[in-house]
Structure 1
């Protein structure tokens, strides 16, 4: 067993690779080990994590469906999950995604272009932390002034989801979910009259086309996207920037050829691992790497550890764009992140504008970084601050 004080989940590192590397080291010694800080066995090897993510009959997401969260796609299995995913795929079609990209670029300009010509900045608080919420609200046609309240709602709901059995988080989380849902349902009912070319209009049309439209169903889809993509996008962007700033050759490649950005994001999703891992409810007695796992308990699939498994990735400590191997940053199998296309759209626009606006961008050597699990009060792995010199 790993005591709480010794858990990598309780420590920080100056490198975004430190967390996953420390977990993978544990995995080489013991592929499944109970972590007191996380309250569950950690599954630490790539092949075991990937297999469990694919095996929804044994390792379930049903626990997400408590109370008002019962309808969200991640809590569904079987045909209902497939039906909801078909609907989501419609509003992330190639043509819809191109329209979203056109809408997002001006928002990235508005957020990151003002950094040009300044001597330095704290990128997290000054730009990155509010950028995904700005994008999401604009895609929905929601006034920007909801952003602060939206952040409060998301933070309280995510705290509840991270500790679903903790009564301290259940009451405020459930209340925040209901308030957020009520607000979005009002937007849906107004948009239903004349669905537009924005994200909300596409979600409504997708539900109408599949014959499953209700204001509540559309609201659940919108809330699911917001909860699933908000903080992950923040830490994806922060992790990618730090990864590039720590690797001069990778930064030169991205600046010279913007088409390599996706390769940078993919390697940052592995090397900096914004998604530390995922809980799963065990539905039937099973065994992982020789360790018996009883039905009714929880396991934690440590994605960050899997990303530094040398059996899955050659030279895992190195940041190598275009490397072979499939990262698990967006999951794998039936519950692969449906919002991944939007996260990439947001990240491409932000990175493109920022690198163009700040050709001298570099880390501030006098303000060391600290990457940790639970950054900014969320369940992602990342950083609270990102101090840089911009000129």
Structure 2
């Protein structure tokens, strides 16, 4: 596949999986000159890149920044240079060790009751309605409230958190399809986000609490383990990563239930299948589409020579559909024992994966048990136009069985 125009077409966002299949078969390592990125699509190559930080750096480089409008660089130097996801060892090792304590199995187990209470409250509101937006009423608020409470910030501001998070991710797009007004809005939103957390951190310095943000501030003040800028970038990263992935997981999982009507009764009859369902959702419609790496030196990937300093778009969403690793990859199978790459691999494996899995499991336990039947409102799905994440803007549903035949798979995949 040498024609790269389809990568920027509406079909790529609506249903990228046939495009991924052609890439894996014909051009598994594809240079896309429009954005200056090499796309890597096969499982073995993706896994190799993610587990080889000595060859493929996570650090942001000038090459990546050149791919975007220069106005969008404001604030990104800070977020890119000291973020846990965009640094290499030894700094990565140091920062990861500090934040790992919040996501140990024991720490996650302590959160289960609170996540359950929140999910029940949100589903309580859903069952009172004849129609609802799954994203607005469950998928967005649940993870935002959980990570807000964990960090110690006001969950009542979740609408702002969601907007800030969406804008930050929108501003990281590599395709450059943003007009002047949108760029100005994104930059202003980014300033608000950074200013909010700077004020929160200053408050925690004066009045520390029993929360993760206070722990990060204490690590800065008492142990000199974090710089002030690292505290800020860690807080912002956790706020974004703590809600976007799980929001997409819940939305994509609901689409899986709607497209595979045999699954819902099986989950209702045996809720112990829900963790397996969650894992298959993560593989089938990965919340994270692409990770970015930079080559440290000239290197061969999939038999293709790539120069030092090249930017790689590592397509985990495609890798999760590689038939050499997953039999009948387009088949949704909750019994599948899948080693998906949706949370990454190697030293950058998502630190919040246990929390995301917990929230996803509980959200579907409550939804499956308490909303016996639900169906989509008519109309196409509204996918967020992002190369990095796969999630829905909205998902209008109505309680009860479908009133008409479901949409064809091509319109919903």
TM-score by length of 1: 0.85
Q: Give 3-state SS (helix, strand or coil) of 1:63's partner.
A: coil
Cα pair 2:290 2:387 within 8 Å, conserved: no
Q: Following TM superposition, by how much is the alpha carbon of 1:189 offset from its aligned partner in structure 2, in angstroms?
A: 4.1
Q: Distance in 2 between matches of 1:224 and 1:91?
A: 14
How many equivalent pairs are there?
Answer: 384
Q: 1:188-218 CA deviation, whole Å, 9 max, x = no partner?
A: 3444566544443555567789751555433
Q: Following TM superposition, by how much is the alpha carbon of 1:162 offset from its aligned partner in structure 2, in angstroms?
A: 3.1
Corresponding position of 1:387: 396
Q: Distance in 2 between matches of 1:349 and 1:248?
A: 20
The answer to whether residue 107 in structure 2 is matched with residue 96 in structure 1 is yes
**Which of 303, 307, 313 is the aligned partner of 2:326?**
313
Q: Distance in 2 between matches of 1:302 and 1:322?
A: 24
After superposition, residues 1-391 of structure 1 pair within 5 angstroms as: 2-7=2-7, 10-11=10-11, 18-35=15-32, 39-63=36-60, 67-69=77-79, 70-163=81-174, 176-191=189-204, 195-201=208-214, 203=216, 212-213=225-226, 215-364=228-377, 366-369=378-381, 372=383, 375=384, 379-391=388-400
Cα pair 2:251 2:392 within 8 Å, conserved: yes
Which stretch of the first structure deviates more once superposed, 180-189 or 156-165? 156-165
Q: Distance in 1 between matches of 2:335 and 2:188?
A: 44
RMSD after superposition:
3.1
Q: Distance in 2 between matches of 1:192 and 1:262?
A: 40
Which stretch of the first structure deviates more once superposed, 259-268 or 328-337? 259-268
TM-score by length of 2: 0.81
Cα separation, partners in 2 of 1:173 and 1:78, compared to 1, 3 Å:
farther
Cα separation, partners in 2 of 1:304 and 1:57, compared to 1, 3 Å:
same
Q: Give 3-state SS (helix, strand or coil) of 1:292's partner.
A: strand
Cα pair 2:17 2:318 within 8 Å, conserved: yes
- Larger RCO, structures 1/2 (Cα 8 Å, 6+ apart): 1
Structure 2 gaps of 5+ residues are 63-75, 401-413
Q: Distance in 1 between matches of 2:349 and 2:147?
A: 20
Q: Following TM superposition, by how much is the alpha carbon of 1:172 offset from its aligned partner in structure 2, in angstroms?
A: 6.4
Q: Distance in 1 between matches of 2:381 and 2:160?
A: 28
Q: Distance in 2 between matches of 1:41 and 1:122?
A: 37
Cα pair 1:160 1:170 within 8 Å, conserved: yes
Q: Distance in 2 between matches of 1:147 and 1:62?
A: 30
Q: Give 3-state SS (helix, strand or coil) of 2:394's partner.
A: coil
Cα pair 1:21 1:317 within 8 Å, conserved: no
Q: Distance in 1 between matches of 2:359 and 2:86?
A: 26
Q: Following TM superposition, by how much is the alpha carbon of 1:297 offset from its aligned partner in structure 2, in angstroms?
A: 1.7
Corresponding position of 2:71: none
Structure 1 gaps of 5+ residues are none
Cα separation, partners in 2 of 1:286 and 1:10, compared to 1, 3 Å:
farther
